[in-house]
Amino acid sequence: MITIETSIEIRRPVEAVFAFVADSRNEAKWEETVKEVRVTPDGPPAVGTQVTKVGSFLGVKLEVTNEITALEPNRELRIKGISGPRGASMEATMRFEAVGERTRLNFTTQTETGGLFKMAGPLLANQTKKQLEADLQRLKGLLEAQG
């Protein structure tokens, strides 16, 4: 099991950060590896909403579907992978905390590797953490530019 934890502070109110992150249609704007997003059903995010993302990671084309398993507005968003690379599983928790006029976003992901990535556990963990931190920097830049 690979566990990655990271956090970032964004100079925007927690309501703005949560609304942008919880709307999965925005993922291709800040997640470099995501090229296409499909959300089912269409509408605001809710427990049970499924998000299919198409992209590539470490040169491997991937299509994964995640499901929102918990949603507490302006506080927490949890997702779980329900389809993707064979033998792999993923759960992620994003916690949003108001820090004055800023938001601290704490991101934790737990991944069980399988298939092509099984043998590359340590490399995968390192690359995933680097990618997540770069994605969060892109998210920060996008949101702070809106402010």
More confident site: 40 or 125? 40
Owning domain of residue 98: 2-146
- Transcribe 80-106 into DSSP letters: EEEESSTT-EEEEEEEEEEETTEEEEE
* Distance of alpha carbon 142 from alpha carbon 135, whole angstroms: 11
| Local confidence band at 90 (pLDDT 50, 70, 90 cut-offs) | confident
How many helical (H) and strand (E) elements, i.e. helices and strands, does the chain have?
3, 7
Whole-structure pTM value = 0.87
Q: What's the pLDDT score for residue 79?
A: 97
DSSP tag of 42:
S
Is the pLDDT reported for residue 41 higher than 70? yes
- Give the chain's length: 147
- Count up the domains in the chain and report the number: 1
pLDDT in tens, 73-87: 999 999 999 876 655
* Distance of alpha carbon 115 from alpha carbon 5, whole angstroms: 23
**What's the CATH code of the domain at 27?**
3.30.530.20
